């Protein structure tokens, strides 16, 4: 239906109805101007001060030619400047491209080139990597910013601190940003040779924030420590941006060092903490855990991978006053899809919960037909959380949205009450001797063995079984485990074909900065386990 109003009136209506990510901080600053918003080391900003810093930065970006639809890449560990840039770009309609700081120059160059960035901001420690990436991407004439430190040798990179803290216009830039204008371009770590660029809009993000608030029990009274990488949308958009939306206080740490995390909870009297299971395990195993005052902590969240049931029970025992939520999703869902709530943790242990407020979830077969409860298939979602699509990739976008549902690539099963159990990523399902083995089921069984600190189960090529179930085990400190003991335990709890053919011991499992175990790296490291008896024995493996 054509608009009954003039173009001028229609534009005024759209501006009055605007509800974009960039608007959220301004509204919170109006409600709570003097409330503590962000803590980063010695820096402590109220919401009014945070809002002013965002406006100054936004005007500086605009002066450098960045405008609506342009892409700005950000390569940095967590810091105050990171979150200022996240909201400054949103206010301009500039698309933020967070970059994984663990990547090499060639990998970053692909992202910068594929995104067609108009600028790059990097922390000082990564300047050389960032400069090399720009050169390899053939991007010479772009805005270059550095996050403070010495300028020697980097005079063509501007100091972003001057954009944020220097004198400047503190009024809102007033850019019209529509609900589905892209604001984020998040590159997935993925399993393919090249990562995919996931486009997210205000509609995707704010609908997801509302689901987090309602189903995640979040409030303006929260004081939260943010230690997982902000380049990942779990920390940035399930937690930090939601805190800004509500008016909660955020404490930023550069990374999830267990000692620093425990100290920050005690020092800031934090009430809320998100971490993947690997980080929760590192906190439980840290010698300072039992001597640190964690009495302020009331809300705990986990995601990125399933929490081993035995670890969940240990958390309930050692943190009895903390309620836990399991958030399941992926970048393409901005990222939340389902939630397991506190009262469901032990009765539904191991479940990913039920669809969150603004999400519908189904299980479908290979042809997209809905499957009944109890049958394994692909997990699909329908929700305003969902991505706008993969940047510059019509084919993958069409496949992901086949049938009008977003296809997650995860295998799962729903029960009669709608609780979702994630069986595995499609790529992590082990096909051995004609049978399918879910790596997670084997991991859950092995976590029940005393002395196992962490375990990852994956498949390696095998001449007889096609794939052989393999377990990489990290023993608890001071505990001696043998492969024979691990296998004996597995045989007690699992069908024979699910038991590991190989057990390898390691001091640590490979993880990405979001805390996910990188099974691809394990498969690559142990690809020759089945090459011969001598090779298997030298790797600590047992047939």
State the DSSP string of 508-521.
Answer: ---B-TTS-B-HHH
What's the mean pLDDT in 91-101?
96
Where do the structural domains in the chain lie, given as residue ranges?
15-202, 433-538
**Cα–Cα distance list, 209 to 27, 37, 84, 474 (Å):** 15, 17, 19, 36
pLDDT band with cut points at 50, 70 and 90 for residue 466? confident
Give the Cα separation of 285 and 307 in Å (integer).
Answer: 15
Question: What fold, for 433-538?
Answer: GMP Synthetase; Chain A, domain 3 (3.30.300)
pLDDT digits (tens, 9 = 90+) for 416-425: 999 999 887 6
- At residue 434, the pLDDT reads 61
Of the ranges 65-79, 418-432, 460-474, which one carries the lowest mean pLDDT score? 418-432
**Three-state secondary structure call for residue 452:** strand
Is-contact 329 422, C-beta < 8 A?
Answer: no
**Three-state secondary structure call for residue 390:** strand
Is-contact 185 97, C-beta < 8 A?
Answer: yes
pLDDT band with cut points at 50, 70 and 90 for residue 438? confident
Give the Cα separation of 47 and 243 in Å (integer).
Answer: 11
Is-contact 316 345, C-beta < 8 A?
Answer: yes
**Three-state secondary structure call for residue 62:** helix
**Three-state secondary structure call for residue 39:** strand
Residue 527 CB neighbour total at 10 angstroms:
11
Buried b / exposed e over 135-164, threshold 16 CB at 10 Å, is: eebebeebbbbbbeeeeeebeebbbbbebb
Q: Quick check: 191 pLDDT over 50? A: no
Is-contact 246 213, C-beta < 8 A?
Answer: yes
Contacts of 468 (CB under 8 A, 6+ apart): 432, 459, 460, 461, 462, 501, 502, 529, 530
Decide whether 15-202 matches 433-538 in CATH topology: no
pLDDT digits (tens, 9 = 90+) for 507-528: 999 987 767 788 888 988 998 8
What's the mean pLDDT in 242-250?
98
Is-contact 473 481, C-beta < 8 A?
Answer: yes
**Three-state secondary structure call for residue 197:** strand
Over the chain, what is the mean pLDDT? 92
CATH value of 15-202 in 1.10.3720.10, 3.40.50.980, 3.90.640.10, 3.30.470.20: 3.40.50.980
């Amino acid at each position: 239906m054509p608009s009954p109003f003039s173009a001028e009136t229609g534009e005024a209506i759209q501006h009055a109805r605007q509800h974009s990510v960039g608007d959220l901080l301004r509204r919170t600053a109006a409600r709570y101007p003097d409330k503590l918003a962000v803590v980063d080391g010695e820096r402590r900003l109220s919401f009014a001060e945070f809002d002013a810093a965002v406006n100054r930065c936004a005007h500086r970006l605009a002066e450098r030619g960045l405008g609506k639809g342009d892409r700005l890449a950000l390569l940095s560990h967590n810091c105050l400047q990171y979150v200022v840039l996240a909201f400054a770009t949103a206010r301009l309609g500039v698309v933020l491209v967070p970059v994984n700081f663990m990547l090499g120059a060639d990998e970053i160059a692909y992202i910068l080139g594929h995104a067609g960035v108009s600028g790059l901001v990097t922390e000082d420690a990564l300047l050389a990597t960032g400069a090399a990436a720009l050169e390899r991407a053939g991007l010479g004439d772009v805005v270059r910013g550095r996050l403070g430190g010495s300028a020697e040798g980097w005079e063509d990179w501007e100091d972003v601190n001057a954009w944020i803290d220097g004198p400047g216009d503190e009024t809102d830039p007033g850019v019209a940003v529509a609900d589905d204008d892209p604001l984020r371009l998040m590159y997935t770590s993925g399993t393919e040779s090249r990562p995919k660029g996931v486009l997210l809009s205000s509609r995707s993000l704010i609908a997801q924030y509302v689901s987090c608030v309602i189903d995640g029990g979040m409030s303006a009274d929260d004081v939260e420590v943010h230690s997982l990488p902000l380049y990942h949308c779990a920390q940035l958009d399930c937690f930090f941006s939601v805190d800004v939306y509500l008016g909660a206080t955020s404490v930023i740490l550069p990374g999830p060092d267990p000692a620093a995390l425990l100290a920050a909870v005690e020092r800031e009297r934090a009430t809320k903490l998100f971490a993947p299971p690997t980080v929760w395990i590192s906190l439980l195993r840290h010698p300072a855990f039992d001597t640190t005052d964690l009495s302020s902590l009331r809300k705990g969240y986990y995601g990125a991978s399933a929490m081993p049931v035995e670890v969940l029970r240990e958390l309930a025992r050692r943190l009895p006053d903390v309620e836990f939520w399991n958030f399941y999703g992926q970048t393409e869902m901005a990222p939340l899809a389902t939630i397991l709530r506190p009262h469901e943790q032990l009765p539904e242990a191991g479940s990913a919960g039920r669809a969150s407020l603004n999400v519908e979830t189904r299980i479908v077969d290979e042809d997209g037909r809905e499957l009944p409860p109890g049958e394994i298939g692909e997990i699909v979602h329908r929700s305003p959380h969902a991505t706008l699509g993969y940047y510059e990739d019509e084919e993958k976008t069409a496949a992901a949205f086949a049938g009008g549902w977003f296809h997650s690539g995860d295998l799962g099963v729903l029960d009669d009450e709608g609780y979702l159990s994630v069986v595995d990523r499609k790529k992590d399902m082990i096909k051995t001797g004609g049978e399918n083995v879910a790596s997670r089921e084997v991991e859950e069984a092995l976590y029940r063995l005393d002395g196992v600190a962490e375990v990852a189960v994956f498949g390696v090529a095998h001449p007889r079984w096609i794939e052989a179930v393999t377990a990489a085990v990290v023993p608890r400190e001071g505990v001696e485990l043998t492969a024979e003991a691990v296998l004996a335990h597995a045989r007690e709890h699992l069908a024979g074909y699910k038991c590991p053919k190989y057990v390898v011991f390691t001091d640590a499992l490979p993880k990405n900065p979001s805390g996910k175990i990188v099974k691809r790296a394990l498969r690559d490291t142990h690809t020759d386990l089945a090459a011969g008896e001598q090779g298997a024995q030298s790797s600590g493996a047992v047939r």
